Structure 1
Amino acid sequence: MTLPGVTRAVDAAISGRRIAGAVVLISRDGHPVHDQAAGLADLASETPMRRGTVFRLASVTKPVIAVTTMHLVEAGDLDLTSPIHRWLGDFRPRLADGSVPDITVDNLLTHTAGLSYRMSEPPGSDYDRLEVSDGLDRTDLTLQQNLDRIARTTLRAVPGTEFRYSLAYDVLGALIESVTGTTLPKAVDQIVCRPLQLHSFGFSVGELAQVATAYSDGLIPITDEPIPNDFNVVRFSPERIFDHTQWPSGGAGAAGTAGDVLRFLESVALGGDPILTSRTVTEMYAARIGRQLVGTTLHDSFARGWAVTSPDTAPLYGLPIDSVHWGGAYGHSWAIDPATRTVVVALTNTTPEGMAGAFPADVARAAFTDLATGALDA
C-alpha cells in the first residue's frame, strides 16, 4: 500500500542522488497508508534498503526520552517544576555572573535550560575546552563523566527565558537513571520498548545488525573526521552504535528501524496508551516556547519533545497547522498531525538532505495531498 505522490518524491530524491536510500512509513488513525523501502542501504555493496534496515537515529532518540520522562512524571517519580538538583545533586551549572539558578525538568524538555551543544558553540568555547560529548562521537566517557563536564559549562541564558537546542536530553537521560535506579537503556526498555514491542530500538547493536551506511550530501560516506557546520564542527562516529561500552546519549544515541519509530509515534498519536494518558499527550502537544523566545534557531514554537507548526511555518514543512515534528542528524524526519492522527516517518541514510533539505517537506507535502485527494495505490 503506497501513496503515489510520496513514492514519486522518494524516487526523485534517489534518482537525483540527493539521498542514497530511505524507508518511509505513513499511517492514519493506526492504519498503514504508505510502506516504502527504496534505494540503497550501502552504495559500495549495492545492498538494498529494506524495511528491517536499522538506522542511527540521532535526535529521533529525543521523543522517546520525552515520553519516558513524562511517564515518570505521571508515576509521581518526577515533577515538571522542581529543580533537577533534587535528583542530580551535583548538577549545578552557573550563569556568567556566577549565580546558580534552578533548572527544572520542564526546562530540559523544552530546551530552555540555558545549555547548548558543543557543535553549536564557536571554536574555543568552554564546551570545546571541556571536550563535552554531543552524543554522536565515540569517546571513553561515561554518562556521569559527560554530565560532570556539562555541569562545568557556563549557562547561556537564565533557565526558562530562551530556547536553545542543547544537551538537555542527555541530562534527562541521567535524570531517568537517577530516578529509576537503573541504566538509561534498561529504563527505556522497561518503560517504552517492552510495552510497545519495539524489538530493534536500543543504544547499541550487534556487529551483524543490518545498519544503513551513513552518508553526507554528495553521497560521501561519513567517517570519524569532523564535519564543519555553521558554528563549529559535528563530530560523528558511525561505529559508535556497534560499541556497547559507549555512554547512552538520551539526545542522539539510539538506533532502530523505521517500523519501531512508527510504532512508537503511533502510540503517541493514538493517545499514549499503554505508556501515557491522553491528557499528558495533549499537554505534550501544546506549544510552550513561543517564537519570540525561539529566535532565529527555529521557525516554529516548541513543546515538550518536539516543534509545533504554525500558520506561517506549516507550508514550509508541508504539514498541517499544529502538527508536531522533528528530525535526526543522520538524515531523518518525522511528524504527527494530531487532528487526523497521521504519522509520517521518513528515515534516510543521507544528511543533511534527509533532515533539513527539501526531502522531508517533499514527502510530507505529497503525503497530505494524497490523503486529502484519496490517492492510494494497493
Structure 2
Amino acid sequence: MSRPLQFLSGDEGTAMHARAPAPSPDLSARIDAAIARAIDEKRIVGAVVLVARDGETVYRRAMGLADRELNVPMREDTLFRLASVSKLFVSVAAMVLISQGRLSLDAPVTTWLPEFRPTLPDGSAATITIRHLFTHTAGLGYGFLEPEDGPYHRVGVSDGMDRAEISLHENLRRLASVPLLFTPGTAWLYSLSIDVLGAIVSAAFGGSLPVAIGALLARPLGLADTGFVVPDPARLAAAYADDSPAPRRMSEPDRIPMLEGLADIVMDPSRAFDPEAFPSGGAGMIGRADETLRLLEALRKGGEPLLPTALVCEMGRVQTGEVAVAGWPGWGYGLGFSVLKDAAAAGTSESPGTWRWGGAYGHSWFVDRARKLSVVAFTNTALEGMSGGGRFPQEICRAIYGG
C-alpha cells in the first residue's frame, strides 16, 4: 500500500488542501542523500531533480557535474538530450491537434501518410491507427530490440539517436518496407511509432515537426529551450555511459548494451549539434528539466492552456487492456506514457493511475495525480538514470514517498 508523502502534515495526508505545504527538511534531506549517494558511488555524474506538489515546487536541486572532464557543475538550467522524453512532447502536440479536430485517434495513419503501408508477415494489408501509434501497439519495433542482423538493421532503419544522414521521410520508407511484428492492437512493443506520429503531426499541422512543436507547445507554455536544436551549446550536459569504476564519457557514436542477445542502442551525442539530423519524434529533442516539469504540471492540473481536461484524462487512461507491457509489471500504457495499474505488482509507492516514463540518456519523470505530485529527475548518465534502466529513478521515488 502506498505511504503518504512525509512532507504532508496533519490532515493533509488524507484530504488534499488547495494550499501547498512548505518544503519539508526531511524530504529535502532524503532526496539530497539519494542523489549524493548515486554520485559518490559513481553511478551517475550529475543530476537535476525537481518535485512539484499541488502547483508549488517543493524541491529543486542540481548536483554533481554537467561535464566531468571540464569540471562544469550541473545547474538547474543545464540542457539535456531528452531521448524518449521527446515522446511526451510529441504525444501532447498530437493531442493538441486532436483537440482542434485536425487529427483523429481512430483514423488510419494513411489519412496523413498515404505511403506508410507496412504489411503483415504474410504480405496482407494491415490498418494502423493513430491510437496504435500512441500506445506502441502498431506492430512496429526498435532496432535495439532485435538481433544485430534483424530486419531493421538490414534495411538501415534509424532508431533516432544515431547520426544517420537520411531524412525522416526516408527513415519511414525503410521502416514501412519491413513486415509488422504483429497485427496492430494485439500486442505491445516499445517502438518507433512516435517517430511516425511526429511525421503525422508535421503533416496535419502543415509544417516541420520542430515548427509544430514550437507553435503547439513551446510558445503557449513559454518553453524557451525545448526543441530539436541546441539553443546554447555551452549549457548542454556531456553524455556518459554506465561503466566501472565510473561512468565513461560517450564516444561519438557509441554503442550501449541494453538487453542480452539483442543489438546495442546506437547513440551519438554529436547528433544534438547537427541541424541536418532528421527530427526524431521519439528521441530527438533537447530540453531543460524545469520546462519538462512545466508541461507535466499543465497536464496534471487539467491541460490548460493546451488541452481540455477530457483529453488529458484520455491520455492517462490505460489503453492497452490486458495486453502486457513488456518489462513493466503492474503497468499499462496510455496515450504517450505508461500508466500504473497495480502498485504492488510494480513494487512502487506511487498511486494507481500514476503516469511515468523516461529517456535513455538518463532521465525519468512521473506524475501522481492522486497526490498532486509531479517529479522530473534528469541525469547525464545512461542507462542508470533512466526509468527501467538503473537504480536511481527508484531511489528518488522512495526518497519522495519516504520509504
Q: In which range does the TM-score fall when normalised by the shorter chain?
A: over 0.9
Alignment of 1:330 with 2:330, yes or no, is: no
Equivalent residues of 1:27, 1:343 under 8 A apart? yes
Superimposed CA distance per residue, residues 274-309 of structure 1 (whole angstroms, 9 cap, x where no aligned partner):
00011111111111113x422533321111111112
Superimposed CA distance per residue, residues 88-140 of structure 1 (whole angstroms, 9 cap, x where no aligned partner):
10000011010111100000000000000011111211101111000000011
* Partner Cα distance (1:295, 1:345) in 2: 22
- Read off the aligned partner of 2:352 and give its amino acid letter: I
Equivalent residues of 1:176, 1:184 under 8 A apart? yes
* Partner Cα distance (1:182, 1:295) in 2: 33
Superimposed CA distance per residue, residues 141-182 of structure 1 (whole angstroms, 9 cap, x where no aligned partner):
111111111111110000011001000000001101111110
- Read off the aligned partner of 2:257 and give its amino acid letter: P
* Partner Cα distance (1:101, 1:182) in 2: 28
Residue 400 of structure 2 is aligned with which of 367, 372, 376? 367
Residue 390 of structure 2 is aligned with which of 357, 362, 365? 357
Segments of 5+ residues of structure 2 without an aligned counterpart are 1-22
Cα distance change, pair 312–368 in 1 and its aligned pair in 2 (3 A):
closer
* Partner Cα distance (1:216, 1:307) in 2: 25
Cα distance change, pair 26–312 in 1 and its aligned pair in 2 (3 A):
closer
- Read off the aligned partner of 2:365 and give its amino acid letter: W
Which residue is equivalent to 1:304? 335
Runs (4+) of structure 1 exceeding 6 A deviation are none
Identity of aligned residues (%): 41
- Read off the aligned partner of 1:337 and give its amino acid letter: D
For residues 286-301 of structure 1, what are the structure 2 equivalents within 5 Å?
Answer: 286-290=317-321, 292-294=322-324, 296-299=326-329, 300-301=331-332
Residue 90 of structure 2 is aligned with which of 33, 57, 65? 65
Which residue is equivalent to 2:116? 91
Give the drift of 1:312.
Answer: 4.0
Instruction: Give the secondary structure class of the aligned counterpart of 1:164.
Output: coil
Superimposed CA distance per residue, residues 297-355 of structure 1 (whole angstroms, 9 cap, x where no aligned partner):
33211111111123345753442222110010000000001112210000000111101
Cα distance change, pair 307–131 in 1 and its aligned pair in 2 (3 A):
same
TM-score (norm 1): 0.95
Cα distance change, pair 245–4 in 1 and its aligned pair in 2 (3 A):
same
Residue 268 of structure 1 is aligned with which of 296, 299, 302? 299
* Partner Cα distance (1:295, 1:332) in 2: 20
- Read off the aligned partner of 1:100 and give its amino acid letter: A
Equivalent residues of 2:188, 2:324 under 8 A apart? yes
CA RMSD in angstroms comes to: 1.4
Instruction: Give the secondary structure class of the aligned counterpart of 2:356.
Output: strand
- Read off the aligned partner of 1:294 and give its amino acid letter: A
TM-score (norm 2): 0.89
Instruction: Give the secondary structure class of the aligned counterpart of 2:97.
Output: helix
Equivalent residues of 2:241, 2:256 under 8 A apart? no
Superimposed CA distance per residue, residues 232-253 of structure 1 (whole angstroms, 9 cap, x where no aligned partner):
1111000101111100000000
* Partner Cα distance (1:177, 1:248) in 2: 10
Equivalent residues of 1:192, 1:275 under 8 A apart? yes
Instruction: Give the secondary structure class of the aligned counterpart of 1:353.
Output: coil
* Partner Cα distance (2:266, 2:348) in 1: 27
- Read off the aligned partner of 1:227 and give its amino acid letter: I
Give the drift of 1:225.
Answer: 3.0
Residue 230 of structure 2 is aligned with which of 192, 202, 205? 205
- Read off the aligned partner of 2:390 and give its amino acid letter: G
* Partner Cα distance (2:34, 2:345) in 1: 18
* Partner Cα distance (2:358, 2:254) in 1: 22
Which residue is equivalent to 1:149? 174
Which residue is equivalent to 1:346? 377
Instruction: Give the secondary structure class of the aligned counterpart of 1:101.
Output: coil
Which residue is equivalent to 1:376? none
Which residue is equivalent to 1:46? 71
Segments of 5+ residues of structure 1 without an aligned counterpart are 371-378
